[in-house]
Amino acid sequence: MFVLACSSSEQEPVGEQSTDNDAATQTQTAQRSERIALATQKAAPPPTRVVQAESPFDGNVPSDWPAYGGDRGGSGFSPIAQITRENVSQLEEAWVYQTGEGTDFGWFKFENTPIFNAGLLYLSTPQNAVIAIDPTTGGEIWRYDPEIDHNMQRTQGWLSRGVAFWQEETGDDSTACHYRVLFGTIDARLLAIDARTGLLCNDFGTDGTVRLDEGVGPVDEGMYAMTSPPAIVGDIVVTGSSVRDNYQVEDAYGTVRGFDVRTGEQLWAWDPIPRSPDIPGYETWTPEAAEKTGAANAWAPLSSDADRDLVFVPTGSASPDFYGGERTGENLYSSSVVALKASTGEVAWHFQVVHHDIFDYDVASQPSIVTVPRDGEQIDAVAVVTKMGFIYVLDRDTGEPLFPIEERPVPASDVPGEEAWPTQPFPVLPPPLLEAEIGPDDAWGITPESEAKCRDLLSPLRSEGVFTPPSFEGSIFFPWWGGGINWGGASYDPERSLLVTSIKRLPSFMKLVERESEDEGNMQGTPYISSGGILSGDEGFPCIAPPWGELVGVNLDSGEIDWRVPIGYSQPKGSPDEKFLGSSFWGGPITTAGGLAFMAGSKDGHLRAFDIDNGNELWSAKLPAGGQATPMSYEVNGKQYVVIAAGGHGSLGVEMGDYFVAFALPD
């Protein structure tokens, strides 16, 4: 059973951690620093801006996958139909690119999805190098290394999900930085890079750099980062942030900002926590909490609709995660999707998915811009998938639900000082993708002894559904705060009005204990310390029956679930001939006009293709390392490619590496 002393929006348990700041922890920290120093010597990345191939850069090449989510609206859909259900079985490896980075220091999470623009693929690495490669050969064109300090403390790991691309609409396209790659680093920098050469754009900020850790409250080294790509709306680049949370009440602010894409000038800033009485939503906080509470940050990718001048912001829970006694109230605009005017940062509308979040159920996925049929009309909407397994479909202009949503009573907290919000918004359609609650009768193990252990673990825990509050005896959290639908998000096939998403079914627990000293443990500034983690049996497998990961097709016309299938498999110790379907995973699906869904992410290290009409698996390929990322697809010279990052993930125990692998049909 994992014990996790400090959870954050992007942090997953990787082993047992003490809740005490003791000598053992100090020794571990010293040993970690020694490992980092050694690994840095052994695995230094290639030099900055190494040109290894003739560049096929061409600003006239169509962009089939121009943004992290396929398009700036995060649809996750490829309009290319060369690879189909009939020929997908013929897919073969087209090229492999290795970044050259070492993986044996720090906590690596290789979560990148490349983008395709102006004839090049642009990608980023866990150490935050930005690289341009030839999309037909995988040859490196240029590399920019921001030279992140490898000794920097990073409790949330080394990662980067991707970059963004912008180009001037007029003028001489041979001018420096006419095409730009925008990128945020884990040491809180926003960079503008010439997409043709890999050189910094010196007209942006200070020599190509804007600091993001200024003006956002208290920031500790390495604890304020940008791990997802920014959003581009016209000539404005919009940034979220990754904030270490659950550590203390007074933490860095989750401010979202808009910058001029040419100069780096800050145009506006919007704080998800209203900090003065003249700001709408202030009344949902106590005055003291509105002044000091941190986080509520948008760490997942943002989406945008340039025609409406809107950017859709998925916000997280306020600090700390699991006790809200220092921030009583509904707590707008935490754990919400918020539509901001991209030109001004003003709130156009908002929808809160969790009131007074004490579960770390932040909106962890990119909102999906979709158009759905309603009464013979096509309605522009936003689909919001959540950790709870709930899916909300909202009108894009107003935020009004397109399916009924009910405010239902939820359990009260018995922790002194806590005031759990009495109701939460439950969508009637689509139906929840997870069970309402689990208990001892749901215990499972691969042996009778393991099942008995799991029943013993589940029996004393409080279990009253998805919004069971943290407690002194321990509460079942199902889904786990890193489970449900996470940063892999969803993909939308417009022809079928089908939303395809991936969901994790992992039981966990959360327990509060009274604090004995002011500087002890996490949630500093509160009377309590939290601990929790995955509930598992002797062999390390979750305490409920598989599947532990599923791919799900949801019809946004009817609101019904069309199909659901397990993702990959896990191989239990001691039973090499038996496969238990539905692996834990990180990453998400994409869909294509060829009638396919592609998904990797599972512990078995495969990329898979599924029939989008029924979820049947049609093809799979073993990757050289774990594929804990979301794939993408593009076409060059009449040939469709599917690319996946295969570098592994520090929390899953999979093979680590530094690969990007492309698949295509044979010539």
The catalytic site residues sit at 360
Is-contact 427 408, C-beta < 8 A? no
Task: Say which residue the tokens 């894009």 belong to.
Answer: 396
Is-contact 553 532, C-beta < 8 A? no
Which of 484, 487, 515 has its CA nearest to residue 249?
Answer: 515
Residue 608 CB neighbours (<10 A): 24
Compute φ and ψ for 288, nearest 5 degrees.
-65, -40
How far, in Å, CA of 355 to CA of 422, rounded? 9
How far, in Å, CA of 25 to CA of 35, rounded? 15
Is-contact 610 596, C-beta < 8 A? yes
How far, in Å, CA of 450 to CA of 573, rounded? 13
CB neighbours of 38 closer than 8 A, spacing ≥ 6? 105
How far, in Å, CA of 461 to CA of 452, rounded? 15
How far, in Å, CA of 434 to CA of 427, rounded? 13
Residue 92 CB neighbours (<10 A): 9
Burial of 343 (0-12, 13-18, 19+ CB in 10 A): middle
How far, in Å, CA of 323 to CA of 357, rounded? 9
Burial of 27 (0-12, 13-18, 19+ CB in 10 A): exposed
DSSP-derived letter for residue 36 is H
Residue 379 CB neighbours (<10 A): 16
State how far the alpha carbon of 408 is from the alpha carbons of 230, 421, 484, in Å.
35, 11, 20
How far, in Å, CA of 518 to CA of 511, rounded? 19
Using DSSP bridges, classify how beta strands 158-159 and 108-109 pair: parallel, antiparallel or unpaired: parallel
How far, in Å, CA of 578 to CA of 565, rounded? 18
Alpha-carbon 47 to chain mean position: 29
How far, in Å, CA of 339 to CA of 309, rounded? 10
How many residues appear in the chain?
A: 667
How far, in Å, CA of 360 to CA of 9, rounded? 7
State how far the alpha carbon of 377 is from the alpha carbons of 44, 77, 372, 430, 492, in Å.
56, 22, 8, 19, 18
Compute φ and ψ for 188, nearest 5 degrees.
70, 45
SS3 73: coil
Torsion of CA 336, 481, 244, 99, to 10 degrees: -100
Which of 246, 119, 143, 241 has its CA nearest to residue 190?
Answer: 241
Q: Please report which helix (H) or strand (E) contains residue 360, including its range.
A: none
Using DSSP bridges, classify how beta strands 92-98 and 659-664 pair: parallel, antiparallel or unpaired: antiparallel
Q: 28-49: string of b/e by CB count within 10 Å (b at 16+)? A: eeeeeeeebeebbeebebeeeb
How far, in Å, CA of 604 to CA of 236, rounded? 41
